[in-house]
């Protein structure tokens, strides 16, 4: 987990000159919702499960930083095994031409339900997302994330997930 965060941090440092991109600022609308579905913990055959989630982003709250354009996000996901994850954190937004690159870090609360025991109620989600514009105020994307408790619990098996995303600005 520490290696993944270090790699993401180094990557963000090197692409930070994009932070002043005027196109990002011009496209900011008050609210963007990300509706996503995919496979929770696809790398564990015994505990993988379908998932569905929704995430809210208020882009009026964006901030420029040395990491780029940052904005708060809040979301919720549920798996087919009734495991839940409620989270809030930050994401960075980078416009790479027709592709949007959006890494995020969102601590949250995990409920096991009938799903995988991740070892602790507090989990940390690191995610990367690539998306493309479909229509005005609508994007389609693909994301990958990793949930981990950073060894807060007695065990830390983690979970790797992938999702297909539909992002809509309102």
Query: Does the global pTM surpass 0.85?
Result: no
Q: What is the pLDDT of residue 29?
A: 53
| CATH code: domain of residue 122 | 2.40.160.20
pLDDT of residue 97: 86
Taking the C-alpha atoms of residue 93 and residue 6, their distance in angstroms, rounded to an integer, is 18
Looking at residue 10, its pLDDT comes to: 47
Locate tokens 């991740």: which residue?
Answer: 118
Report DSSP letters for 92-141, one per residue: EEEEETTEEEEEEEEEEEEE-TTS---SSSEEEEEEEEEEEEEETTEEEE
Q: Which domain holds residue 143?
A: 2-169
Count the domains in the chain.
1
Digit-coded pLDDT (tens) for 2-34: 555 554 454 444 444 444 444 444 455 578 999
Residue pair 148/1 in contact (Cβ under 8 Å)? The answer is yes
Mean model confidence pLDDT for the chain: 86
168: nearest Cα among 12, 72, 23, 59? 59
Q: What is the mean pLDDT of residues 47-51?
A: 94
State pLDDT tens for residues 111-152.
Answer: 999 999 999 999 999 999 999 998 888 999 999 999 999 999
């Amino acid at each position: 987990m520490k290696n993944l965060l270090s790699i993401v941090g180094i990557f963000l440092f090197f692409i930070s000159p994009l932070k002043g991109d005027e196109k990002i600022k011009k496209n900011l609308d008050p609210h963007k919702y990300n509706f996503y579905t995919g496979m929770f913990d696809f790398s564990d055959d015994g505990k993988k499960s379908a998932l569905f989630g929704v995430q809210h982003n208020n882009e009026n709250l964006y901030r420029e930083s040395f990491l780029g354009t940052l904005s708060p996000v809040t979301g919720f996901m549920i798996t087919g095994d009734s495991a839940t994850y409620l989270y809030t954190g930050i994401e960075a937004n980078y416009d790479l031409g027709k592709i949007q690159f959006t890494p995020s870090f969102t601590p949250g609360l995990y409920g096991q339900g009938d799903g995988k025991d991740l070892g602790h109620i507090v989990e940390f989600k690191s995610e990367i997302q690539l998306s493309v514009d479909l229509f005005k105020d609508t994007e389609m994307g693909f994301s990958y994330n990793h949930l981990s408790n950073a060894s807060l619990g007695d065990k830390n098996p983690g979970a790797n997930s992938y999702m297909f995303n539909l992002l809509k600005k309102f």
